[in-house]
Structure formats: C-alpha cells, structure tokens
Amino acid sequence: MPRTKLTLTVDPEILAEAKAKAQSQHTSISGLVENFLHFYSEARLYCFSCGVALDVTERETCAKCGFLKCSDCAKCGCDLSDEARQAVFHMRRVYEELLAGRVG
Ligand SMILES: [Zn+2]
Ligand SMILES: [Zn+2]
C-alpha cells in the first residue's frame, strides 16, 4: 500500500509515553495513528447479541432505547436487562472518549 507522510503536533509527554508503550507492544506510532484514523472514519460496533459487525453510519437506532438496531437479529437495547444495558452504555463511553464524539 502506498504511504503518505503525516506531520502531527502533539503534547511531548503524551508522545513519549505512547512511544514507550508502542515499543513494548512491538508496534509503531504510525501504525497506531493509522489504525485510529481508520476506526475514526469507519467506526464499528458489534451487536451485543449476535456479534455481527454493525456499520454505525448505516444502521437505524431504536427510538425507545437509542441503541443501534442489529441488521441481522434486529435486537436493540430494549432486549437487554437494565444491568446489561447499563454495562453496554458505559462501555460505549470508551469509544466516545477515544473518538471525542458520539458513536452510533
Ligand atoms: Zn445481532
Ligand atoms: Zn430499543
């Protein structure tokens, strides 16, 4: 795949920590940034019930619970117990922090 050069300006402390961690995980900053950018532009969530990958840009959300409706099994947050729904909700916060925006 052809590569292009990207110049970034970031907090030096964050970069130093990321570099150290990337090295210990045998990956590179370029690889991480590329992976993130790919995820950012094509965020994916997986159905909590059947596990199929959902394209968040194309799926409809349930008006009642606000969750994505699965294209395969048609389940949404309404099919979950309160406890499970809360767990999924908090898990989604990880994505939202990562992407600095709403997912799905
Ligand atoms: Zn499903
Ligand atoms: Zn629902």
Q: Note down pLDDT in tens along the chain; length 104 residues.
A: 788 999 999 999 999 999 999 999 999 999 999 998 888 888 778 888 899 988 777 678 899 988 888 989 999 999 999 999 889 888 888 878 887 766 55
Residues with CB under 5 A from ligand 1 (ion): 47, 49-50, 70, 72-73
Strands 53-55 and 44-46: antiparallel
What is the domain extent for residue 11? 7-42
Residue owning tokens 């970069």: 15
Residue 91 in tokens: 């898990």
Q: Does residue 49 share a domain with residue 100?
A: yes
**Smallest-distance ligand from the CA of 49:** 1
CA of residue 38 to ligand 2 center, whole Å: 28
Q: Does residue 73 share a domain with residue 37?
A: no
For residue 38, being part of any structural domain is answered with: yes
CA of residue 16 to ligand 2 center, whole Å: 43
CA of residue 87 to ligand 1 center, whole Å: 17
Total of domains in the chain: 2
Q: Does residue 14 share a domain with residue 57?
A: no
Q: Does residue 96 share a domain with residue 54?
A: yes
Give pairs for 82-85: CB < 8 Å, separation 24+.
Answer: 84/48
- The model's pTM: 0.65
